[in-house]
Structures are given as structure tokens and as C-alpha cells.
Structure 1
Amino acid sequence: MNITINGELLNVDRKALVEVLQSFGAVAPFAVAVNSEFIPQSQHGNYVLNEGDSVELLSPIQGG
């Protein structure tokens, strides 16, 4: 299945969002949006990706 993560086209063999994030190397804390829709962390385990989905993985930026 082809999806895009942070602008990078990837072919993945998993559909569960949490599994795709783990295989991508996501390290908490982070926020996730699929097709520009925020997905709460409580739903990561149940969320199923579809062909062509666009995933944005956002890490907090510290500053002052």
C-alpha cells in the first residue's frame, strides 16, 4: 500500500497507524494528522490507513 509520510512516498505492508508509525521510527512525543485531520493518540491503535493517505508526523519544538 502506498502512503505519504511527511512528504515521503512509502510502500507499507501494514494498515494500522500505530504499526506504520513504529516502523517509520516515530519517537514520542509527537502529533499525527492523516489527510490534514488530527488523530488523537488514543485512536492511534485503532486507526486504519488507506491507500494514498497522507500522514504528517509533527514533533514539538522547544524554544524560548
Structure 2
Amino acid sequence: MNVLINQTPTELPEGASVADAIALLAPRPPFAVAVNLQFIPQTRYAEQPLQDADQLEIISPVTGG
């Protein structure tokens, strides 16, 4: 299936979860995840299925002023 991760088209296997997408990118914590603009708590990463054409945003906090 094709999804967008941070606006980048990405191919994932059918039945992939948010945890699978995170494993592919391996972002450094801390980060937050949204699927189709809906925040996903870390406790649901493994159980949150992805669908074809879903849009994921993996967001890291920015510090500074």
C-alpha cells in the first residue's frame, strides 16, 4: 500500500501499522505521530492499522527561540 510519511510517498506492506512505519523511519525520540491529522498515542502505535493513501506525520519538538 502507498502512504505519505511527512509528505514523502512510501510503500508499506498490506496490514502495516503505525509501529511498522515508525520502524522504517527510526526517528529519534521524542516525537509525536498523527495519521490523517489525528494524534495517535504511543500506546496505540502497534494496534493502529494503516490504510492505502493514509497520511502520517512524525513530528519532533523544536527548541530554541
TM-score of the alignment, normalized to the shorter chain, above 0.5: yes
**Is 2:64 the counterpart of 1:63?**
yes
Opposite residue 5 of structure 2, the aligned amino acid is: I
Distance 1:62 1:22 in 2: 24
Instruction: State the 4+ residue runs in structure 1 displaced beyond 3 angstroms.
Output: none
Per-residue displacement from partner, 1:14-55 (whole Å, max 9, x unpaired)? Answer: 611101111122221100000000001111111110100000
Report the TM-score, using the length of structure 2 for normalisation: 0.88
Partner of 1:2: 2
Unaligned ranges ≥5, structure 2: none
Report the TM-score, using the length of structure 1 for normalisation: 0.90
1:21 alignment partner, SS class: helix
TM-align CA RMSD: 1.2
Partner of 2:32: 31
Partner of 1:12: 12
Unaligned ranges ≥5, structure 1: none
**Is 2:42 the counterpart of 1:41?**
yes
